[in-house]
Amino acid sequence: MDKRLLGAAILLCLVGVLQAFATEEKEDVFKTMACSAFLLYDNVAYMADMTFELPCRCKPKEVSSVVWYFQKNMGRHETTVLTDFAGTVVVDSGHIQLGSNILKRFSIRMFSLIVFRAQVMDSGHYMCGSKKGDFFYGYDVDIQPTNRIRVAFVDRGQPVQDDFTGKHFSLFTTFWDWTTCDRCGVPGEQRRIGLCYVQSAQLNPRYRTAVPNVTSCGSRAVPSHFRRPVRLRRPEVAIRSCLTPCPKKEAPKEEAQAIANVISKLGEKSWQPRVPVQFHNQYTGSDLVIACPGARPEHAVGWDKDSVQLYRSRYLIGVNKTMRVFIDHGNHLHIRRIQVSDRGTYFCWQEGKMVAGLRVSVTYRLQRGRKLNDPETIYAVKVIGMSYTIISIMFIVIHVCRCCYRALRGPAAM
């Protein structure tokens, strides 16, 4: 018993030493980096719908908690406090896009600010400071839009954007690494996100960049007379096909394998993988947006309908303007004006592994009366209006031709 008590006491001492070491190391982070007397801004760039973290890299020793501030443009007095002085997170669900279950846009964890599903309107200056309004550290955040993104399918030989070199600045794309293959065991796809950057010797020196004289295109460090031509440069994404084998699983015993074979033969849909499946009912004519659980826009995500792969080369948004079913750049699957043929199970792949499924059943909508904002009503009005316009144009053209014919025939008859 004495040895056991001695061992337990030694273990508790080791745990205490490790906790003290971790606390001291965390405090040393702020000790090694002193706050500058003149506030500078670190430039960071992300694509819309991404979630990112901004650490407060310096603060005075006597400050035990920080408050994060947001300022759209430097020099203006409109400054938003992202948390109140009690540390309560601001709830702003108005910016969350359809299909997202995130309720809080901002969160503070260990002096760091986490921004969920950032939008272009979130671009600006982020500063950590004190309750009194003293700023310690700042960021110049550039959120680049996805609605103007340029897509290059590498397998089709489509090239990425060429660099542009002007008199006082040059524009180029900085690509992230290729993602992992979004599927395994079957042909999949990889993505590579590219953000717009500008190089110039006339950048504002108050903004710190990883490479001298290089900053993102939406940075406030870019001079105002450069911003208009710089905005013409679009972020881009490259997509290529890939094939990755699935990791090998431990072979089951002979008895278990025999039972599994019998069960698979008895099952009607033995091809369906064993992943969590949710059930959802939709009415015809409604819209549905499906999100892969736990996935971010920068992750490798793939979608299947039953046993059919929905590849981005065919279903990416913008590939075909008349698509009802498409995948956006945030990895969400959209189904517009649902039809009975859309029923089935939609499976989600994440980082090469199938993780979830959604079984969609479609029922006819029984309505006593149509509303003006119904998709069917809008479509019918457009068709009727277009038909009426075409008939009116034909009527006018026929009468004009008849009048011209009579006018030309009159003098000839005389």
Query: How confident is the model over 316-335, as pLDDT tens digits?
Result: 988 887 889 999 888 999 99
Are residues 143 and 51 in contact, defined by beta-carbon separation less than 8 angstroms? Answer: no
Averaged pLDDT, 116-142: 88
Q: Is 249 helix (H, G, I), strand (E, B) or coil?
A: coil
Banded model confidence at residue 14, pLDDT cuts 50, 70, 90 = very low
The reply to whether 117 and 163 lie within a common domain is no
Together in a domain, 205 and 215:
yes
DSSP character at residue 211: S
State mean pLDDT over 180-193: 93
**Other CB atoms within 10 Å distance of the CB of residue 338:** 22
- 236 - beta bridge partners? 150, 194
Question: Could you say which of 144, 179, 208 is where a domain stops?
Answer: 144
pLDDT at 141 over 90: yes
CATH number at residue 323: 2.60.40.10
pLDDT digits (tens, 9 = 90+) for 340-387: 999 999 999 999 999 999 999 998 876 555 566 666 677 778 888 888
Higher pLDDT, 325 or 61: 325
Matching residue, tokens 């260990």: 110
Question: Greatest CA span in the chain, whole angstroms?
Answer: 134
State in Å, rounded, how far the first CA of the chain is from the last one: 133
Rounded to an integer, what distance in angstroms lies between the CA atom of residue 289 and that of residue 255?
43
Q: Which of 68-82, 171-185, 325-339 has the lowest mean pLDDT?
A: 68-82
Identify whether 38 is part of a domain: yes
* The amino acid at 239: I
Domain assignment present for residue 385? The answer is: no
Rounded to whole angstroms, what are the CA distances from 110 to 56, 204, 340, 342? Answer: 9, 31, 49, 45
| 16 located within any domain | no
Q: Is the pLDDT of residue 20 over 60?
A: no
For residue 403, pLDDT beyond 60:
yes
Q: Are residues 188 and 140 in the same domain?
A: no
Domain total for the chain?
3
For residue 102, the model assigns a pLDDT of 33
377 belongs to a structural domain:
no
pLDDT at 86 over 50: no
Residue 224 belongs to what domain range?
145-244
Specify whether 139 is located in the same domain as 179: no
Q: Residue 280: phi, psi to the nearest 5?
A: -140, 140
Same domain membership, residue 139 and residue 45: yes
The whole-number pLDDT of residue 390 equals: 92
- pLDDT at residue 93 is higher than 50: no
Rounded-to-integer distance, Cα 327 and Cα 315, Å: 6
Interval 13-22 mean pLDDT: 44
* 150 and 124 housed in the same domain: no
Per-residue pLDDT reduced to its tens digit, 273-313 = 788 888 989 888 889 999 898 888 889 999 999 989 999 99
Q: What is the pLDDT of residues 384-394, one digit of tens each?
A: 888 889 999 99
Fill in the DSSP letter of residue 297: T
- State residue 95's pLDDT score: 43
- C-alpha span between 185 and 245 (Å, rounded): 5
Q: What is the pLDDT of residue 360?
A: 92
The pLDDT of residue 253: 52
CA-based angle 365:370:371, to the nearest 5? Answer: 115
- Tracing tokens 């025939």 back to the chain, one arrives at 409
- Out of 346, 363, 380, pick the residue that ends a domain: 363
Tell whether 310 is covered by a domain: yes
Count the alpha carbons within 13 Å of 97 in the hemisphere toward its beta carbon.
19
- Rounded Cα distance between 140 and 16, Å, is 39
In three-state form (DSSP H/G/I as H, E/B as E, the rest C), the secondary structure along 383-409 is HHHHHHHHHHHHHHHHHHHHHHHHHHH
Rounded mean pLDDT, 205-212:
90
What number of residues does the chain have?
414
Q: Tell me, yes or no, whether 18 lies in a domain.
A: no
Q: Using 50, 70 and 90 to split pLDDT, how confident is the model at 119? A: confident
Question: Identity (one letter) of the amino acid at 229?
Answer: P
Contacts of 15 (CB under 8 A, 6+ apart): none
Confidence of residue 191 (pLDDT cuts 50, 70, 90): very high
Task: Tell whether the model's pLDDT for residue 236 goes beyond 90.
Answer: yes
Whether 264 is covered by a domain: the verdict is no
The alpha carbon of residue 103 and the mean position of all alpha carbons in its chain are separated, in whole angstroms, by 16
In the predicted model, is pLDDT for residue 75 greater than 50? yes
Torsion 6-8-11-12 (CA) sign: negative
Pick the range with the lowest mean pLDDT from 124-138, 243-257, 353-367, 386-400. 243-257
Residue 324 confidence (pLDDT): 92
Residues 153 and 219 in one domain: yes
Strands 301-305 and 308-310: antiparallel
Residue 370 pLDDT: 57
Judgement on whether residues 120 and 160 belong to the same structural domain of the protein: no
- Give the DSSP per-residue string, 321-352: TT-SEEE-TTS-EEE-S--GGG-EEEEEEETT
Residue 111 Ramachandran class (φ > 0 left, ψ -120 to 50 alpha, else beta): left
pLDDT of residue 270: 47
**One domain, residues 234 and 293:** no
pLDDT of 251 reads 52
Same domain assignment for residues 95 and 131: yes
Q: Which residue has the higher pLDDT, 211 or 88?
A: 211
- For residue 77, is pLDDT > 60? yes
Percent of the chain with pLDDT over 70: 76
Say if 403 falls within a structural domain.
Answer: no
What is the spatial distance between Cα 360 and Cα 200, in angstroms, rounded to a whole number?
Answer: 52
Per-residue tokens: 261: 């074979």
DSSP string for 53-65: EEE-----TT---
| DSSP annotation of 39 | -
Contact 339, 362 (CB under 8 A): yes
What pLDDT, on the 0 to 100 scale, is given for residue 225? 85
Q: pLDDT category, 267, cuts 50, 70, 90?
A: very low
Q: For the stretch 261-287, what's the b/e string if a residue is b when 16 or more beta carbons lie within 10 angstroms of its beta carbon?
A: eeeeeeeeeeeeeeeeeeeeebeebee
The chain-wide mean pLDDT, for the chain, equals: 79
Alpha-carbon span 407 to 414, nearest angstrom? 12
